């Protein structure tokens, strides 16, 4: 069945389906009982009870540590961090426990945990609530990293994450919760598979999360200028779909990677380096300046990667 719903409703439906299908799936975090701060758990505690949708104290280290313990004991927890910025208080449990357990114990221990960490610039929320830290987690062996950009992806990829046997850092953008779109309840999207949202022969643009929508607008403007861009939504940051990107770049000979995260040491560098190592392709990165996100609108705008900047970067590649 195909339904029209928003990004948050798609997440609720995904969790509901998995909790119904698998009694090992539990949810835990601050405010999940009342639906979460973005409505991404709305109605689930009434449906499954407080034993499976568990409100916790305000301690990210305790929440994540408990989730790792639950996963090692055989449950499949969905651990809510509210926003990625708050997850930094639970980094030891993510980095040194969840990510490493399978390796350190020779596969005897598995941590099938989904850590939901809403990411990205949150309008008028300043530096401590607006970070894009996907590159941090992609750097850590043992973690899967997912950044969905649409309601369909948030439904299908969240279900795939809950079915994964390894810890998944699941990064929903803080400003996409109201984004509506069709959701096919039966559509399965595997982790690690990119989506080509637009075909073109002049250059390849790769992005993920909210920045995909900025790039889509840039592609429209480029088309009006006679430049046909191919737009790839990476969807999964690790493992990332190298084959899809390399095939597109072999066709176009030009690559622009655009992300909301700070450009310095961003994941775009990994993509352009990989492509440059495999073929003679013109490459360019586009990311935010290395500054904290400001509270004032004029300062916040300086930290965003705009449609105009994306169009200009693409035009530079075409010269």
The reported pTM is: 0.96
pLDDT at position 163 is 98
DSSP string, 70-125: HHHTT-EEEEE-SSHHHHGGGHHIIIIIITTHHHHTTTS-----EEE--BS--TT-
99 neighbors 136 (Cβ within 8 angstroms): no
The C-alpha atoms of residue 197 and residue 213 are separated, in whole angstroms, by 10
Residue tagged active-site, from 129, 173, 213, 259: 129
CATH entry, 2-184, from 3.40.50.970, 3.40.50.300, 2.50.20.10, 2.40.10.220: 3.40.50.970
Domain residue limits, the chain: 2-184, 195-318
Domains 2-184 and 195-318 are alike in CATH topology: yes
Closest CA to 166 of 195, 189, 141, 139: 141
129 given a catalytic annotation: yes
pLDDT at position 1 is 86
CATH no., domain 195-318: 3.40.50.920
How high is the mean pLDDT in each 10-residue block of the chain (319 residues)? 96 98 98 96 98 97 97 97 95 96 93 98 94 97 98 98 97 98 98 98 98 98 98 98 98 98 98 97 98 95 97 97
């Amino acid at each position: 069945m195909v339904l029209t719903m928003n990004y948050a409703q798609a997440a609720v439906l995904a969790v509901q389906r998995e909790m119904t299908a698998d009694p090992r799936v539990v949810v835990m975090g601050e405010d999940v009982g009342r639906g979460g701060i973005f409505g991404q758990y709305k109605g689930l505690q009434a449906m499954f009870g407080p034993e499976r949708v568990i409100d916790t104290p305000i301690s990210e280290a305790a929440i994540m540590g408990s989730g790792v313990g639950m996963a090692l004991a055989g449950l499949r927890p969905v651990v809510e961090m509210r926003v990625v910025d708050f997850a930094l208080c639970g980094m030891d449990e993510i980095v040194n426990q969840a990510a490493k357990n399978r390796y350190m114990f020779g596969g005897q221990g598995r941590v099938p945990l989904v850590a939901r960490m809403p990411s990205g610039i949150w309008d008028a929320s300043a530096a401590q609530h607006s970070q894009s830290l996907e590159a941090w987690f992609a750097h850590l062996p043992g973690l899967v990293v997912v950044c969905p950009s649409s309601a369909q992806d948030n439904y299908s990829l969240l279900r795939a994450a809950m079915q994964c046997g390894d810890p998944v850092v699941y990064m929903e953008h803080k400003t996409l919760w109201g984004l509506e779109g069709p959701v096919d309840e039966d559509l399965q999207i595997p982790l690690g598979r990119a989506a080509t949202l637009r075909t073109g022969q002049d250059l390849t643009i790769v992005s993920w999360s909210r920045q995909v929508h900025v790039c889509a607008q840039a592609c429209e403007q480029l088309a009006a200028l006679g430049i046909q861009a191919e737009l790839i939504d990476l969807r999964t940051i690790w493992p990332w779909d190298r084959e899809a990107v390399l095939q597109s770049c072999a066709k176009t000979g030009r690559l622009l990677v655009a992300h909301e995260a700070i450009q310095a040491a961003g994941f775009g560098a990994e993509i352009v380096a990989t492509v440059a190592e495999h073929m003679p392709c013109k490459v360019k990165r586009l990311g935010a300046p290395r500054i904290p996100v400001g509270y004032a609108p004029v300062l916040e705008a300086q930290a965003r990667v705009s449609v105009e900047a994306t169009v200009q970067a693409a035009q530079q590649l075409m010269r």
